[in-house]
Structure 1
Amino acid sequence: MDDNKIRQYGDELYDAWRERRMLAPLREREPEITIEDAYRIQQRFVARRVEAGERIVGKKIGATSKPVQDFLGVYQPDFGMLTSGMVYQEGDTIDLGTLIQPKAEAELAFVLKEDLKGPGVTAMDVIRATDYVLPCFEIVDSRIRDWQIKIQDTVADNASCGVYVLGKTKGDPRALDITLAGMVLEKNGELFSTGVGAAVQGSPANAVAWLANTLGELGIPFRAGEVILSGSQSALVPVTDGDELVCTVGGLGSCRVKFSGRSAA
């Protein structure tokens, strides 16, 4: 795909994000689009957000667990960039009017104390470079109409990044078994789903190592202080006005988030 089309689709996604509207799937308009094309489009989309005043504050891994892969029909991991405009803290209420067609997923966030750059990064390297882990929610959101995405669509759309919410409880990954720690997700006081760290590429640390190595091949490092979202341990949760979600990770603690308003779709 030539540079003009890369810019065109990156700008279209940026405008759709800013105006809270949906686009037709890119693969319908460009049947020959490759994953490499899609990542170039993502770079353009993210660059537009940075030009508008945001900062890159971390990275996210998407489509790592079977429930999410089955829902999306996407059967390989992808990645996106986290920006300063996406960050919420536990106790905040998310205005759904800022999103298009949001769905929540519960996962583990890694906050780094050291730079990390692949290739050759192992799960143990990830643990050593991590300052602490937190329970968190990612609220994924797609600019692609009705979530009709394949891997190229979600990659171009910055891995369907919406916003994310970090819990307050910090855990030491050297003292917590993040692979076997169970996760319980409740919606409005009722059990919605359960999960475990091993559902994410065998361990959340494995997923983070995969991303470090994948980005390393592109010359992109992890930086100290960045947040890395390791991938969903839950099924995707539809959210509407008044909903409250709580995810609890065994041995670590909980993250709680509320929603108000009405999304654009």
Structure 2
Amino acid sequence: MREIAARLERAARDRVAIDPPAAGCAMTAEDAYRIQIINVDRRVASGRKIVGRKIGLTSLAMQKMLGVDEPDFGHLFDDMMLVNGGECRVNTLILPRVEPEIAFVLGRELRGPGITCNDVLAAADYVTPALEIIDTRIRDWKITLADTIADNASSARVVLGERKTKPAALDLAVVAMTLQKNNAVVEQGVGSAVLGHPAEPVAWLANKLAEFSQTLAAGSVVIPGALCRAIDVRAGDLIVANFEGLGSVSVRFV
């Protein structure tokens, strides 16, 4: 496991994709999370700070494609966070894609098991528009569930919007979203695309973390999954996501 973790870390550092690590062994999801944690611990030891979590595979279509029946998660670090309206350098990534999401920022700790959607809404300080820039250290996005878990759930960068909204102010399940690439609408989505309600994956995560004796701390940023498919990006692209009732968020790739 440590050898696979080291290969993934080198791939991220050198920006050179590797063959799927799960292809050469019988890697389970549990094995993959252990590999992820090895690199999380390594990054924390180097001075990076965990600021939250990301959740992936929150659409039934993606779960069916990978043959799984639950989401996965990864860790967000302080140096992954970008400024709204700022720039993302593509030469720091391998094969980036962008997903629009509704981010939760927690006002108090969530400790599973037994956490519900309503618990999440009560614990959230606010929600805000987000763009997750996903990337893979695995060649050509040819990933299995175990591959993406080991690779920190394909996480790379996150952009949070500036507008903060209390979850009780609107029904997040019906929030409509339009995604623009270079001023043209390329995708649309709605909050219910994320397991029926954006708070549901956060509840799942709090309960899943209990299996690792972990909690979601107050102040954590949690991005619960995309409202539409991920779109490919390259240098020069301007991405803007508009969320009804929540505001907008943008990033330019350079």
TM-score band w.r.t. shorter chain: over 0.9
Distance 2:57 2:138 in 1: 16
Q: Is 2:3 the counterpart of 1:12?
A: no
> Corresponding residue for 2:192?
198
Query: Helix, strand or coil: the match of 1:215?
Result: helix
Query: Helix, strand or coil: the match of 1:207?
Result: helix
The amino acid that maps onto 1:249 is F
Q: Is 2:90 the counterpart of 1:96?
A: yes
Q: Is the CA contact (8 Å cut-off) linking 2:60 and 2:195 kept in structure 1?
A: no
> Corresponding residue for 1:247?
241
Query: Helix, strand or coil: the match of 2:170?
Result: coil
Gaps of 5+ in 2: none
Q: Is the CA contact (8 Å cut-off) linking 1:68 and 1:236 kept in structure 2?
A: no
The amino acid that maps onto 2:225 is G
**Please, what TM-score do these two structures have when normalized by structure 2?**
0.96
Q: 1:25 aligns with which of 12, 16, 20?
A: 20
Q: Percent identity?
A: 45
Distance 2:118 2:66 in 1: 31
Q: Is the CA contact (8 Å cut-off) linking 1:184 and 1:194 kept in structure 2?
A: yes
Query: Helix, strand or coil: the match of 1:174?
Result: helix
Q: CA deviation at 1:73?
A: 3.8
Q: CA deviation at 1:245?
A: 0.8
Deviation sequence 1:148-185 (CA, Å, 0-9, x none): 00000000000001111011111110112101111111
> Corresponding residue for 2:37?
43
Q: 1:228 aligns with which of 222, 225, 239?
A: 222
> Corresponding residue for 2:134?
140
> Corresponding residue for 1:153?
147
Distance 1:100 1:258 in 2: 16
Query: Helix, strand or coil: the match of 2:174?
Result: coil
Distance 1:203 1:27 in 2: 31
Q: CA deviation at 1:256?
A: 1.0
> Corresponding residue for 2:174?
180
Tell me the C-alpha RMSD between the 2 structures: 1.3
Q: Is 2:162 the counterpart of 1:162?
A: no
Query: Helix, strand or coil: the match of 2:222?
Result: strand
Distance 1:129 1:203 in 2: 16
Query: Residues 242, 68 of structure 1: CA spacing in aligned structure 2 closer, same or farther, 3 A cutoff?
Result: farther
Deviation sequence 1:178-211 (CA, Å, 0-9, x none): 0111111111111111111111011010111011
Query: Residues 95, 103 of structure 1: CA spacing in aligned structure 2 closer, same or farther, 3 A cutoff?
Result: same
Query: Helix, strand or coil: the match of 1:107?
Result: strand
Distance 2:178 2:27 in 1: 38
Q: Is the CA contact (8 Å cut-off) linking 2:73 and 2:152 kept in structure 1?
A: yes
Q: CA deviation at 1:114?
A: 0.2
Distance 2:128 2:104 in 1: 7
Distance 1:67 1:238 in 2: 19
Distance 1:47 1:74 in 2: 29
Q: CA deviation at 1:47?
A: 1.5
Of 126-135 and 49-58, the range deviating more from structure 2? 49-58
> Corresponding residue for 1:63?
57
Q: CA deviation at 1:53?
A: 1.5
Q: CA deviation at 1:74?
A: 5.9
Deviation sequence 1:103-148 (CA, Å, 0-9, x none): 0000011001101110000001001110000100000000011100
How many residues were matched structurally? 253
